[in-house]
A = this chain, B = another copy of it.
């Protein structure tokens, strides 16, 4: 593709690129400033990497209108270079292509009662259990297990070794990365005579359209009813979701987040890495939970919280400052005590030696 064509692609999604350089220059790849070679287009979004502009071998760079760049570089100037490069990666490279294999009963185990949609690919080593439904164009990679009565939508993508326990429901275009487990039993036990009596976990998990789940996650089935992950939500890796928890739409969860059971998470919520949330609370719409926060109380809509126990970010930042100044505060109190003692001594001596306190 040429730089002119890349600019057209940006204009097609409503951006207003300004090109400096040769519109006919051919571009083969998108690359980082550091890795780029001739024929690559690169980008600068985070000012931290501005120095790399001086040394990059890229043929062209996407960057903000106000950033200086060496004269030999061709430039595409846009307001939001990160969004622009996303568009260009999609245009130049596209999404992963999946090898299609014809169904082969010798290397897969598809139960005779299962219904497999048109053009779905079931890779070797997959086991599809009783009464499963799989949509059109789904791709199920080797080593996946799909339990009884699961219902899987169109264009679903299960990477290797994904396990779906019975009755799991996946909407259309759901993507689940390797070695993630959906629908295992949660930690449901009742204490009886100092031992733990298992409570049958008879609910299930529902994952709505366009959700993407990272690798190595575990999402408990509900004890009763459903655990739900809302439409368009994206999870990173090694995330644990407790039984009966409801996660809203278009949320973003970073790696190693852990949500206990019976939590309600609103829409458009961001949880940073290693966040923990206790059971039976609500995290409101558009809330943001900072990395490593431990959320122990419900969070209002739109609030940003931080710390363990988590509190609004403004208060947390104040606390951090105050904690850092604790040694100084200590010294000031000691100084006060010294001066007060001295003052009392002087006062007493002025008063003629009468003891100041009885």
Residues of A within 8 A of B (CB): 30-32, 34-35, 46, 48, 82-83, 86, 89-90, 93-96, 99, 107, 109, 123-125, 127, 129-130, 141-143, 145, 148, 159-161, 163, 165-166, 177-181, 184-187, 189-190, 192, 194-200, 202, 210, 212, 214-218, 220, 223-226, 232, 234, 236-238, 240, 242, 244, 250, 252, 254-256, 258, 260, 268, 273-274, 276, 278, 280, 291-292, 294, 296, 308-309, 311, 315, 318-320, 322-327, 329-330, 332-333, 336-337, 339-340, 342-344, 346-347, 350-351, 356-357
Interface pairs (6), CB distance under 8 Å = A123-B127, A258-B273, A291-B296, A292-B294, A336-B340, A346-B356
In the complex, what residues of B have CB within 8 A of residue A214's CB? 184-185, 187, 218
Inter-chain CA distance A351–B351, complex, in Å, is 11
In the complex, what residues of B have CB within 8 A of residue A190's CB? 82-83, 86
In the complex, what residues of B have CB within 8 A of residue A217's CB? 216
Q: Is the interface of A mostly helix, strand, loop or mixed?
A: loop
**Other A-B pairs, 15, CB within 8 Å; known A218-B255, A315-B324, A347-B347:** A90-B200, A161-B179, A179-B218, A181-B237, A184-B215, A196-B250, A242-B255, A258-B273, A276-B291, A291-B294, A319-B323, A326-B326, A329-B330, A340-B340, A342-B356
Inter-chain CA distance A14–B47, complex, in Å, is 51
Name the distance in Å between A79's Cβ and chain B's nearest Cβ: 13
Inter-chain CA distance A274–B103, complex, in Å, is 43
Inter-chain CA distance A350–B273, complex, in Å, is 62
- CB–CB A124/B124 < 8 A: no
- CB–CB B160/A179 < 8 A: no
- CB–CB B255/A258 < 8 A: yes
Name the distance in Å between A354's Cβ and chain B's nearest Cβ: 10
- CB–CB A318/B329 < 8 A: no
- CB–CB B86/A197 < 8 A: yes
Name the distance in Å between A329's Cβ and chain B's nearest Cβ: 6
- CB–CB A187/B236 < 8 A: yes
Known: A99-B130, A256-B240. A196 touches B340 (CB 8 A): no
Known: A32-B224, A109-B142. A234 touches B196 (CB 8 A): yes
- CB–CB A194/B268 < 8 A: yes
Residue of B nearest to A233 (CB): B196
In the complex, what residues of B have CB within 8 A of residue A187's CB? 214, 234, 236, 252, 254-255
In the complex, what residues of B have CB within 8 A of residue A89's CB? 199-200, 202, 223-224
